[in-house]
Amino acid sequence: MSMLNKGAKLIDNLLDVKNIQMVPTRDGFGKGLVEAGEKDQRVVALCADLSESTRFHWFAQKFPERFIQMGVAEQNLATVASGMANYGKIPFIGSYAAFSPGRNNEQIRTTISLNNIPVKVIGCHAGVSVGPDGATHQQIEDIALMRVQPNMTVVVPCDAVEAQKATVAIAFNNKPSYLRLGREKSWVFTTPDTPFEVGKAEILRVSSASSGQADVVIIGCGILLYNALAAAEELAKEQIDCMVINSHTVKPLDEKTIIEVAKKCGAVVSVEEHQVNGGLGSAIAECLAKNHPVPQEFIGVQDRFGESGDPFELIEVLGMGVGSIKEAVKKVFKRKNK
């Protein structure tokens, strides 16, 4: 049963909180890759021996002549794709995020970002929600690795529907791009009609006040946005009014929207399934430090590695559950009013 209900102050027609399903974001990517391949024959796919796990196998079945199995050779995966992109192809490269961009970061930097060519790096099984695979495979540094690279676009979809849209969008943006995906089934709460544009944050929950000035704005990316919405609804019962923003594009950050909502609310909580250092929260803090400083709290992994366990238990244990988000909102709300 959904933790949300139709009584929440959600933007009309943006979300479906009545018929929540659980689907991995990687499934949305797989469908989007096939859709992109149908639109343009320049789209090709290269995978590092994990085609089924990464959902590249759907593209391989539909377009076998445009699929290349590279084997367990992530560095070669990046460099071959860079060459193909330099000659007009639109390559998607995929592996677990621990290996791409984790293992082949130097090759992505030198052969893709430095040359500003449109290879699409797909990091699957990212975050602690990969669960039992443990710390080695729980890639929680990848947003930081990718967003620091010049020319690189970084997108973290909140659900499978958004992942499909994001895949098609980055296919044709003519830029190096990183798309972050999870393995575990997660909440699907957007719809095919929910707006999506790379570089533009979406307001998912508005203030209940007539002025539009909420007490706190929660800005998140990825699957934890569902927790953010649930936390906002529970906080409303405690007379704390929250906006919720989907900042699916970590780079380029929608600074205009971030600054506007920070001015309206005066306090920010960032939410991401990633290290608090170097991810979305850091990007928001950098933006606001230059333009409109406000108190901010950070929900994410607090400078430690993950561990083996149930995906959703890990999210709770590592401080990214609904209760932790509520605590962060209350803390920043107090700071705001000192």
Per the model's pLDDT, the better-predicted residue between 236 and 211 turns out to be: 236
Distance CA 221, CA 248 (A): 5
Same domain, 200 and 182: no
Same domain, 178 and 91: yes
Does 4 reside within a domain? no
pLDDT at 212: 66
Q: Give me the percent of the chain exceeding a pLDDT of 70.
A: 94
Query: Distance between terminal CA atoms of the chain?
Result: 38
Same domain, 176 and 201: no
pLDDT at 51: 92
Tell me the whole-structure pTM to 2 decimals.
0.94
* pLDDT-based confidence at residue 207 (cuts at 50, 70, 90): confident
Does 38 reside within a domain? yes
Mean pLDDT of the chain: 94
Mean pLDDT, residues 13-23 taken together: 79
- Residue 205 belongs to domain spanning: 195-336
pLDDT tens digit string along 232-248? 999 999 999 999 999 99
Query: Which among 280, 285, 326, 300 has a CA at the least distance from the CA of 138?
Result: 300
Q: Is the pLDDT of residue 65 over 50?
A: yes
pLDDT at 209: 67
Same domain, 49 and 162: yes
Per the model's pLDDT, the better-predicted residue between 9 and 300 turns out to be: 300
Q: What is the CATH number of the domain that holds 97?
A: 3.40.50.970
Domain end, chosen from 170, 188, 206, is at 188
Domain end, chosen from 188, 212, 233, is at 188
CB atoms within 10 A of CB 214: 25
* pLDDT-based confidence at residue 18 (cuts at 50, 70, 90): confident
Q: What is the CATH number of the domain that holds 281?
A: 3.40.50.920
Residue with token string 């999506």: 196
Residues with catalytic function: 74
Alpha carbon of residue 226 to chain centroid: 12
Does 152 reside within a domain? yes
pLDDT tens digit string along 115-146? 999 999 999 999 999 999 999 999 999 999 99
Strand runs labelled E in the chain: 21-23, 43-47, 67-69, 90-96, 120-124, 153-155, 177-180, 186-188, 202-205, 216-220, 242-246, 249-251, 268-275, 296-301
pLDDT at 6: 41
Q: Determine contact, residues 155/248, Cβ cutoff 8 Å.
A: yes
Same domain, 274 and 249: yes
Domain end, chosen from 132, 156, 188, is at 188
Number of structural domains found in the chain: 2
Same domain, 173 and 225: no
Q: Is the pLDDT of residue 14 over 80?
A: no
Q: Is the pLDDT of residue 231 over 60?
A: yes
Same domain, 218 and 328: yes
pLDDT tens digit string along 143-181? 999 999 999 999 999 999 999 999 999 999 999 999 999
Distance CA 336, CA 81 (A): 48
* pLDDT-based confidence at residue 223 (cuts at 50, 70, 90): very high
